[in-house]
Structure 1
């Protein structure tokens, strides 16, 4: 059995283009640091605000590195970088690792919460009523900001689910329900192939404390596969002025998709997926009885 694993989060290069921005940076002394994933170290600049007086999250955002923390793993702040699986979740993990090819390697939408853990930059275009987030692979998410909206019943399962946003002070809170399920659909929770169920609820709390930084505190509740909710925190730095997303033809760049084996590959002790670890995946995956996830 031929297993070829590709680390899409690290191997695919970010696509950048010149793109006009409505915001003019207060200064450009630190932009080279931002493009290297380093935090802005100059004088703090005020948070830009929209017509509604709320922080404007518009910008092209690049992730900051966290020393000693794995990339793309939503369990980066958990003990041993492992998420709190319950017994059903452990079986679902076996399924994703042995039977599911990385969806993003097949140019399938990564969805939420996976995109929030990605190592790639993303762009936000923000108005008082809508938040548009654009990612690589020509993927985008649209969020309506309206405190009166509520989630209905029998939501159609989607990769990005059904997000609804409201403000709590200067924090934009997005609640997402109606996501796809890893054992029925081609979706992963994160780049390590951790599973997500159709019962998952994602609460994102976005804030922009100053001009140069964007922060996220995200709580994932999925009691189908995990024993408790868990939290993922992250900070991005605003990229150089004039840069933004451009067209990325994922299918044209995916030249060996038929050779990609299942799973995320071996996860090392540092919590990262990828090459360089000696333990191989089994040539013969366990039988169907190992993947029953509904009790």
Structure 2
């Protein structure tokens, strides 16, 4: 790039899209495919939930429908390991990710500008980037608690703080690492990591209408309820 930063522009995807189904190890069943954990710390590959939340994930799965499955934005960091591709746009002072899934995009200033006010909560949060050598470090705050980390109900509070690291290893590979901190839900910070691989030359991010105009949605929802956050009514 003209400013001397690594050039990550182009179309990227990850070979671990099953992570959007379950970010922990999963043997698979009639609905979900087998999945390997994306979690590299703790070493057991498990989310370190506080004991008081021991049953919350299962309650989510039994009572609510995945917000991303009904076309709400996936949140951060699920955005990066969600299915389909991403297009990275980059210029001095800004780094942007445009995704095919649910038309999600992130505009990440890298100009040193501060986060927005703490009383604002957004599905994709508020991201600010900075360069540490050849690695882009993205700090995301202001997240709502109305998103899940995967389809099986893994969750967080609106205190979630996400730090992502994008490192260009070679022309076709970005190493992605993300650490999640949420003192309301987790016993300690924990980390996921996986590669992003460059897609074929000329790949374009397509428009995805999600469930737009689909009159079967009420039937698909059935007895499930919309998830309204960590303390959703039962």
TM-score with structure 2 setting the length: 0.80
- Cα distance 1:59–1:253, how it changes in 2: closer, same or farther (>3 A)? farther
Greater relative contact order: 1 or 2 (C-alpha under 8 angstroms, separation 6 or more)? 1
Query: CA separation in 2, counterparts of 1:52 and 1:191?
Result: 39
CA distance in 2, matches of 1:190, 1:85: 15
Cα distance in 2 between the residues matched to 1:231 and 1:95: 24
Deviation of 1:114 after TM superposition, in Å, equals 1.2
Contact 1:61–1:122 (CA<8 Å) still a contact in 2?
yes
Number of the residue aligned with 2:14: 63
Bigger fraction of residues in strand = 2
Q: TM-score, normalised by structure 1?
A: 0.64
Count of residues in Structure 1 that have an aligned counterpart in Structure 2: 209
1:64 & 1:170 partners in 2: Cα distance?
23
Match of 2:107 among 142, 157, 160: 142
1:158 is aligned to: 122
Q: CA deviation at 1:240?
A: 0.7
The Cα of 1:100 is off from its aligned counterpart by: 2.2
Residue in 2 that maps onto 1:51: 2
Structure 2 unmatched ranges of 5 or more: 25-36
Name the residue aligned to 2:167.
207
Cα displacement string for residues 26-63 of structure 1 (whole angstroms, at most 9, x for unaligned residues)? xxxxxxxxxxxxxxxxxxxxxxxx11110111111121
- Secondary structure (helix, strand or coil) at the match of 2:13 reads strand
The one of 73, 79, 84 equivalent to 2:48 is 84
Kindly state the Cα deviation for residue 202 of structure 1 after the two structures are TM-superposed.
Answer: 0.2
**1:207/1:99 CA distance change after superposition, 3 Å:** same
What is residue 11 of structure 1 aligned with on the other side? none
Give the aligned partner of residue 227 of structure 1: 187
Q: What's the RMSD between the two structures over aligned residues?
A: 2.4
Conserved in 2, the CA contact under 8 Å of 1:118 and 1:191?
Answer: no
Unaligned runs of 5+ in 1: 1-49, 264-290
The 1:237–1:122 alpha-carbon spacing in structure 2 relative to 1, beyond 3 Å, is same
Instruction: Report the secondary structure of 2:212's partner residue.
Output: helix
